Amino acid sequence: MMTMAGIEWCLIQLVVVVLLVSVRPEYIEYDTKGRVVDGKLNVHLVPHSHDDVGWLKTVDQYYVGSNNSIRGACVQNVLDSVISALLEDENRKFIYVEIAFFQRWWRQQSPKLKAKVRDLVNSGQLEFINGGMTMHDEATPHYMDLIDQTTLGHQFIRKEFGQIPRVGWQIDPFGHSAVQAYLVGAELGFDSLFFARIDYQDRAKRKIDKTLEVIWRGSKSLGSTSQIFTGIFSRHYDPPDGFVFEINDVSEPIQDDILLFDYNVRERVNDFVAAAVAQANVTRTNHIMWLMGTDFRYQYANSWFRQMDKFIHYVNLDGRVNALYSTPSIYTDAKYAASQSWPLKTDDFFPYADHPNAYWTGYFTSRPAFKGYVRAMSGYYLAARQLEFFYGRSNGGPNTDKLGDALALAQHHDAVSGTERQHVAADYAKRLHIGYKESEKVIAASLAFLISKQGNKDTEFQLCPLLNISYCPQSETILPSEKSLVVVIYNPLGWKRKEVVRIPVSLDNVIVKDFHGEVVESQLIPVADAFLSIRNEYAKAYLGETSAVSNKYWLAFIVSVPPLGFSTYTVSVSKDTGASTSVSSVYSVQGNRNETVEVGQGSLKLLYSADGGTLRYTNRRRSVSAAAEQSYGYYKGNDGTDVDPQASGAYVFRPNGTSSIKLEGKSSLTVMKGPLLDEVHQQLNSYIYQITRVYKGKEHVEVEFAIGPIPTNDGIGKEIITQITTTMKTNKTFYTDSNGRDFIKRIRDYRADWDLEVNQPIAGNYYPLNLGIYVEDDSKELSVLVDRSVGGSSLVDGQIELMLHRRLLHDDVRGVGEVLNETVCTSDGCRGLTIQGKYFLRIDPLGEGARWRRIVGQEIYSPLLLAFTAEDTDDWMNSHVPVSSGIDSSYSLPDNVAIITLQELDSGEVLLRLAHLFEVGEDVSLSTMATVELKRLFPEKKVSKVTETSLSANQERSEMEKKRLAWKVEGLSEDEPKPLRGGPVDPAKLVVELGPMEIRTFLIELKVIQMYHAS
């Protein structure tokens, strides 16, 4: 028998059925013409997909949708689907960022579809944001690589669509650099910059203070002339909870068909309004932005656009808030139109933590070998483009494009950062190698052409990419008596260089001569057994072979090379025993701290205790002397088994105690001395070997290290550090570079923007280093320069600490899903990765260290390039040009200026970038206006036209400045002093001025008189 409740339920169902029968289904035309409405809260819906250019899968796997057992992601589907959806409704919008993916897709499209896409771009429905080939990392790249990868993307957009990106979109990198704000932001002509990741404590305070949107001045030298409006998202780069609409996502769609159950328009509109009001409460003005998308979304775009169409339609009918399809550019214009004053932000957003025990500072060092390879290829690319310009660019034959493309991909925030999976890292490295080999052909052909008096290419040059591990078959081969090894040395910098170069040789009776036939002072240094072992293992691992000749020595000799030019030297078997190269004296010292050993042939002396523990640094010329101690240690990687399960991994540095590394066995030093340099060798333990070098003509110390394989058989992951400790009183203060440009003041356990709650006193004080780090007291400066990106800090007054290598056993649960445990495999099995690297240190009187940091830092980035061939010396020298400069032979750039780009474009124009190397107030004589004479840079060519452009050369600088938005800044007067910048270039005088930290970019048209200037 049916109960009364059951009868009532049946009656309700009957009423519903009657109502449904009486309603006729009909098409709903959604009004998506949303526009900004004054007086209402405007919700800017920004459809986007964040597409990593490699991470869990390689860039090509992500594009075509292969290897989906790792992740079901296909960027090709994203773009196909989005374009189709945009064509259905002219009000829909979409932004796209990663040009490396878009370029792949674009090449495959028909002319008909390309025309439609151009219409979408011209109408503003599809907008390119950021516009680089990748969304680059901001901690670990060098600024030159940031410029180059952005330029490649911007040039593609300008060529194919005639568009100029307006907005920076760095939503996923793990912290944000000052260089990003002013250089690859404002100097590109960007009106704004947006990102998601900042420290969790910083975000919490900014939400309370409504300071998530600021005016960011990243450079104290350029100040207001390079400021940028910067927006920090109130959450991650995804929509508010409940508004994610990819297939299989769990958010409730709007169900607005009255014939179907679960009609929910009112509920979903209320949800939308509530989320909008909540976000409006943490920002300023009546405009907020919702990021409608996240990683690899819109593979079926209609699932998103269908819901956004409905929300715009029904929310605007409701009337409490206003919703519209938008882009970051539209949002920026709305914020600017509000005429609001904004808080000022200086310095940067490092380090980043998303949890009290999760500081993302481990990736500053992760995959150090790959970081070193990227940096080496970056300097190589700069030199290769210069030589390509001197020789003449070939679009059909070998050129530098593949290396440029590979380097661009490598700047991705899951590439050079070291946070990708191992097979992806291998893919990046393979691309770099392919680019290197192609550029090697360009360099060899260019040098052969330039060195020939007849302008032909009769000399076949070879390069030695594995010189770092003393592997160079060209220099090791024993030549017949009638031939010599010819070494051509190219200098990519704008000033003359006098340096000691080293090449491996197998004989001890060799002699070096310059291009005049004069004997050059040289020195033979035995190759350490530890480095021979690395050479043999890694040559076998990567080349599948070992050298037929075993090298015994490094041959060191002094060279002098003109600016943007080359010099030639010969190495041959000495027929006169008295004239051969000096062999280093070698002796070992064992003892205690009461015994000392002094090394150094010039002004700089190092006095070691015999156990190698302490030393005294003395530079007589600069009247500097200081006691110091250099040591190694390691942090035990947290395994995540304590109360907080956060482990140390590819991203996160979470130490679980520190251990110093003591010498194994009886302490000893091996000392090698000669006329050019002295070396002190130390085998610290089974996996750390160090060589300390002091050159006769230099006033800094070079430290070369080999670390690995790091042992993990004790079940503990290890993060290897070195410390340079002095007695300097540095008051918790130290200085680190921003992407190799400006130095930023750091104070231990302190943040300028909020009261820091210290949870990780070690990891929370680590910062990225690309150029170096220094400390100072009231009389001295201690500076350390690095050869690649590493993490570093000053955790104790008077001390500098660098993290050099990491090998871990646990994942840090930040998405990569793979342990950072790099290995190298041969037929004998797999072992942990060994890395070789260098750092450089110097002590100066207070206020005098910047000159060394800037000039030597540039030389570290741009090493001399060596090319080899075997020839009959006398005949070859007489028929070739042995020394030459690409600029006026009597001219060199000032010490505070570098040429950071000299490149012939497809159009025939020359892309030239000049960079002032010093900050304002950094050096008494060099932090001043500098000048460069273009006529003397191109002495045998007529400069017919010079156009100054934006940093990425996609618009004229004058037009960019006319469009620049003048934002109001809280607490600053409108008549504040203007920074020092260079003025317009007089077309008659052709002299370029550069103020401190200024980079100026030019497109130059040349009329060739003579291809190359011979001195």
For the stretch 542-568, pLDDT in tens is: 887 766 667 789 999 999 999 999 999
11 Cβ contact list (under 8 Å, min separation 6): none
- Residue 322 exposed, middle or buried by CB count within 10 Å (0-12, 13-18, 19+): buried
Percent of the chain with pLDDT over 70: 95
Neighbours of 289 (CB within 10 A): 25
The pLDDT value given to residue 1013: 43
The pLDDT value given to residue 248: 85
For the stretch 520-538, pLDDT in tens is: 999 999 999 889 888 888 8
CA angle 80, 82, 83 (to 5 degrees): 70
643 Cβ contact list (under 8 Å, min separation 6): none
Q: What is the distance of C-alpha 851 from the center of its chain?
A: 23
pLDDT at 20 over 90: no
The C-alpha atoms of residue 65 and residue 78 are separated, in whole angstroms, by 10
Structure token digits, residue 674? 């000669």
The C-alpha atoms of residue 458 and residue 446 are separated, in whole angstroms, by 11
**Which of 92-101, 410-419, 617-626, 1001-1010 has the least mean pLDDT?**
1001-1010
CA angle 756, 757, 758 (to 5 degrees): 100
For the stretch 370-405, pLDDT in tens is: 999 999 999 999 999 999 999 999 878 899 999 999
Evaluate whether 206 touches 195 at the Cβ level (below 8 Å): no
Distances (CA, A) of 234 to 176, 197, 352: 16, 10, 15
pLDDT at 206 over 90: yes
Structure token digits, residue 303? 């699932």
The pLDDT value given to residue 97: 98
DSSP state of 753: S
Q: State how beta strands 669-673 and 585-589 pair.
A: antiparallel
856 band by pLDDT with thresholds 50, 70 and 90: very high
Query: CA neighbours within 13 Å on the CB side: how many for 361?
Result: 30
User: Whose CA is closest to 202, among 595, 674, 871, 751?
Assistant: 751
DSSP state of 518: P
If you average pLDDT over residues 863-886, what whole number do you get?
Answer: 89
pLDDT at 140 over 90: yes
pLDDT at 455 over 90: no
Within the chain, how many helices (H) and strands (E) appear? 20, 50
Evaluate whether 487 touches 866 at the Cβ level (below 8 Å): yes
The pLDDT value given to residue 456: 67
pLDDT at 659 over 90: no
Phi, psi (deg, nearest 5) at residue 298: 70, 25
Structure token digits, residue 803? 């993290």
pLDDT at 51 over 70: yes
The C-alpha atoms of residue 890 and residue 562 are separated, in whole angstroms, by 10
Q: Is 392 left (phi over 0), alpha (psi -120 to 50) or beta?
A: left
The pLDDT value given to residue 1010: 55
The C-alpha atoms of residue 463 and residue 336 are separated, in whole angstroms, by 54
Distances (CA, A) of 514 to 448, 520, 568, 873: 18, 6, 6, 11
Q: What is the distance of C-alpha 158 from the center of its chain?
A: 24
Evaluate whether 732 touches 824 at the Cβ level (below 8 Å): no
User: Whose CA is closest to 399, among 350, 366, 446?
Assistant: 446
724 band by pLDDT with thresholds 50, 70 and 90: very high
The pLDDT value given to residue 1015: 41
For the stretch 571-581, pLDDT in tens is: 998 877 666 77
